[in-house]
Amino acid sequence: MPPPDLLSSQGLRLDGRRPNELRRIRCKLGVFTQPDGSAYLEQGNTKVLAAVYGPHQAAKSKSSVEGVVVNCQYSMATFSTGERKNRPRGDRKSQEMSLHLRQALTAAIKTELYPRSQIDIYIEVLQADGGAYCASVNAATLALVDAGVPLRAYACACSASMAWRGAQPEPLLDVGHVEEAAGGVVLTVASLPSTGSIALLELSHRLHSDYFEMVLSRAMQGCKDIEIVLDKAVREHLAEGWTKQDVVTI
């Protein structure tokens, strides 16, 4: 059981949020000109850059006639964590993250449309303050939308944890670094909220199955909330980049 002091007596968390409150999300599409699509996303103090190249011709060894090959690279800047990292990418943790990212994003991309092609997605974590995986999925989704890659729906990821308020179990949404480090269980969900399907589910510790449903539904609710934020950002970006000449063709 996690230490009981994750929630104050007033029911507020260590950073002052309510249990079902997300951290502030700020995002921007099209931050680079060189890649086909790019995005920057801040979730609290977690800051992530994503760049998408493609779809382009796949390397001969990877090429598949069934669909597009999605290639992810997750890397954390050496200055992103409290203690300076030696290897920004290529270590076990980054490799695992890359695989998980690929799983979540492949579920969202309409892969069957583009045989013999490849999409490269590069994620750079600038500051890691908990939930780096969730922020990476959300940023990658925005970058894919910016690149004009066909998606089934937005892929959103959110984490949730468990805390106790008195004797009442209370799931916490969007876990920050402090709460992660306190040693509680963290459930990470990547899903397509508009269809309700789950693309990836990960649990860091053991959790009693009585509470699982509750934590999962809170994380799914978080994904839905994030989708709304992302959709708003995409619409703002469209309104800004839209050229009037387009009307002529309609």
Which residues contact other proteins by CB under 8 A?
Answer: 36-37, 54-57, 110, 114-117, 145-154, 192, 194-195, 231, 234-235, 237-247, 249-250
Residues 6+ apart with CB under 8 A from 28: 39, 40, 41, 233, 237
Is residue 50 within 8 Å of residue 122, measured between CB atoms? yes
If the CB atoms of residues 87 and 110 are measured against other proteins, the closer one turns out to be 110
Residues 6+ apart with CB under 8 A from 36: 52, 53, 54, 146, 147, 148
Closest approach of Cβ 73 to other proteins, in Å?
20
If the CB atoms of residues 152 and 165 are measured against other proteins, the closer one turns out to be 152
Closest approach of Cβ 155 to other proteins, in Å?
9
Closest approach of Cβ 55 to other proteins, in Å?
5
Q: Let me know if 65 is exposed, middle or buried by CB neighbors in 10 A (0-12, 13-18, 19+).
A: exposed
If the CB atoms of residues 5 and 236 are measured against other proteins, the closer one turns out to be 236
Give the residue from 170, 159, 102, 163 showing the smallest Cα distance to 135.
159
Closest approach of Cβ 123 to other proteins, in Å?
19
The values of phi and psi at residue 236, to 5°, are -65, -40
Strand 168-173 and strand 197-203: the pairing is unpaired
Peptide bond into 55 cis (omega under 30): yes
If the CB atoms of residues 30 and 88 are measured against other proteins, the closer one turns out to be 30
Closest approach of Cβ 65 to other proteins, in Å?
9
If the CB atoms of residues 87 and 235 are measured against other proteins, the closer one turns out to be 235
